[in-house]
Amino acid sequence: MEISWDKNDRKQSAKWRARIPIRWRWGLFVGFAVVMTVVGLSAFVLDIEQHAGLEREQKQAKLLVAIIRDAIKLPMTSHDSRATERILSRFIDSSDAIQQIHLKWNDGHTEVYGEGALPPKVTALTLEDSKIFRLNIAGLWFATAVRYADIPLGTLIVRFSGSAWRNQLRQTRNQMLMIAGAILLAALIGAWILAGKMSKPLERLAAATGRVAKGDLSVSLPVVSNDEIGDVTARFNRMVTELEHKEQVRDRFGKYLHPELVASLFDEGDRGPVSQKREVTILFADMVDFTQFSHRAKPERVVAVINQFFELFHEVITAFDGHVDKYIGDAVMAVFNHPFEHQRHVEQAALAGLAMAQICQQLDLRRPNGEAVAFRIGMNRGEVIVGNIGASKRMEFTLIGDAVNIASRMAGVGGKNQVIAPAASFRGKRYDFELRELGKLKVKGIADPLDCVRVIARVPELRQRVDAAVEAAFDKVRIKPNLMGSS
């Protein structure tokens, strides 16, 4: 089977080659989905961690402020500023989280520990409530009132550093990025492997389809999955099997019918080839004294001899653009100008008949009694009906009409290895054959006698064509001499 590709097919093929493979599509899709998922989850987790860190920082800050406040209560009740100075300096020096402490006594005395300018809100702030809260200004400022029992002593304001919190948040973010990267890498590898397992059968299917398109019907793909891809693969294998079976049937039918008729039969489906009227030339060849020969020779010898002649006849008939319509026992019927049209189909049929006569002479096979095996050859040109003949369950695409009967009768009136035809078959055109008149002959089934002629090729050009066809037939068939032997 040969399948040709037109320009559109080549364009589609180029377009197919330019497309992104499925494994890349799956990899990109899954990778994008994983990236978006990881980024979204990371942002969500980081936001939660940020709020949780801030709450932890505020709790730690409030705890330190409460400790500082409790530590300076007694020194402040006794107005011991030196003691408060030592305590607050120790807190500044021992804690990296505390950047600055501002202590404002109720009598207006102010103590500042740590570096940095104080915001105006801090310097002007005076509290009487001992509740600790964060100031609504830039930075981490926490303030509370210092009281001893119900006696207000002053206002404590502490500024904390956010570096520890930021470092912790940065560390958490780095860990999240590492985890996200690991998840992303694992997802991409998994997506690539999964996409490869999904696309590999499709790639094999595409390659196999290309082989089938080139006529290779020996393709068979393994079904490795029980999903839709496995179903497609199994159906592809069944399709190729059916195509191979169809080709085998077509080849086998080609041994019985002309290949073009077989192609028409398959292409037209149930309708088959179209029936029609057509002018053709029919050629018949019938073995002389076949009944006597079949009685005296062994059956296998009879079949071998007939098949050998028919092999050679088939080659010369085909060489002159005819086709074998059927074999009828020891006779062969050939048709010219169908299915191929040929303007000089009468000439082609006559040359084929002369080549068949020459084959009989050159093959020189002998009967058990020593006589050479010979054929009578008849031909006739006429209009016939070409169509499907037979029953619904067994049909034959063949020819019917008087022209077929006359050709068959012509094979019975001639001598050994002679080509006989009605003179009317050669009228209307000029031919280079010698047409030796045989007079009017009474033919069975035909009311009026027919003017018949014997066809002889004496022109060198015609002889060369006959000799070339016979030589080619012997070369192709590669006959074995002395096939008859003794019976």
Whether 384 and 338 have beta carbons less than 8 Å apart is answered as no
Please tell me the distance from the alpha carbon of residue 3 to that of residue 163, in angstroms, as a whole number.
76
Please tell me the distance from the alpha carbon of residue 326 to that of residue 280, in angstroms, as a whole number.
15
Percent of the chain at pLDDT exceeding 70: 85
The whole-chain average pLDDT of the chain stands at: 81
**pLDDT score at 155:** 92
Number of CB atoms found within 10 A of residue 229's CB: 18
Q: Check for a shared fold between 1-214 and 275-477.
A: no
Please tell me the distance from the alpha carbon of residue 203 to that of residue 209, in angstroms, as a whole number.
10
Please tell me the distance from the alpha carbon of residue 300 to that of residue 484, in angstroms, as a whole number.
10
Please tell me the distance from the alpha carbon of residue 453 to that of residue 85, in angstroms, as a whole number.
149
Average confidence (pLDDT) over 226-249: 79
In tens, the pLDDT along 429-461 reads 889 899 999 988 888 878 788 899 999 998 999
pLDDT of 12 above 60: no
Where is pLDDT greater, at 392 or 36?
Answer: 36
pLDDT of 5 above 50: no
Q: What are phi and psi of 214, to 5 degrees?
A: -90, 0
Burial bucket for residue 57 (CB in 10 Å: 0-12, 13-18, 19+): buried
Topology classification of domain 275-477: Alpha-Beta Plaits (3.30.70)
Average confidence (pLDDT) over 355-381: 88
**pLDDT score at 358:** 93
Average confidence (pLDDT) over 461-471: 93
Where is pLDDT greater, at 422 or 215?
Answer: 422
**pLDDT score at 461:** 93
Q: What are phi and psi of 3, to 5 degrees?
A: -120, 125
Coarse DSSP helix, strand, coil percentages of the chain, rounded to the nearest 5 percent: 55, 20, 25
Candidate from 353-362, 407-416, 446-455, 475-484 with smallest mean pLDDT: 475-484
Number of CB atoms found within 10 A of residue 295's CB: 9
Candidate from 72-86, 95-109, 185-199, 346-360 with smallest mean pLDDT: 185-199
**pLDDT score at 2:** 40
**pLDDT score at 392:** 62
Average confidence (pLDDT) over 307-317: 92
**pLDDT score at 331:** 92
**pLDDT score at 486:** 37
**pLDDT score at 182:** 82
**pLDDT score at 445:** 76
**pLDDT score at 254:** 53
For residue 189, how far is the Cα from the chain centroid?
A: 27
**pLDDT score at 311:** 92
Bridge-based pairing of strands 133-134 and 98-105 is unpaired
Percent of the chain at pLDDT exceeding 90: 26
| CATH of segment(s) 1-214 | 3.30.450
Q: Which of these, 163, 165, 171, 174, lies nearest to 54 by C-alpha position?
A: 165
Q: Where are the strands (E) in 37-109, listed by range?
A: 98-105
**pLDDT score at 482:** 42
158-194 burial, b at 16+ Cβ within 10 Å, e below that, comes to bbbbeeebeeebeebeeebeeebeebbeebbeebbee
Please tell me the distance from the alpha carbon of residue 479 to that of residue 471, in angstroms, as a whole number.
12
- Read off the pLDDT band of 265 (50, 70, 90): low
Task: Name the residue ranges covered by the structural domains of the chain.
Answer: 1-214, 275-477
Candidate from 177-181, 330-334, 383-387, 460-464 with smallest mean pLDDT: 177-181
The 3 state secondary structure assigned to 275-289 is CEEEEEEEEEEEECC
In tens, the pLDDT along 24-75 reads 776 677 777 777 887 787 778 777 777 777 787 888 888 999 999 999 999 9
pLDDT of 175 above 60: yes
Where is pLDDT greater, at 434 or 225?
Answer: 434
Strand (E) or helix (H) holding 36 = helix 22-77
* Amino acid identity at 405: N
Locus of tokens 């080609």: 254
> Which residues partner with 422 through β-bridges?
452
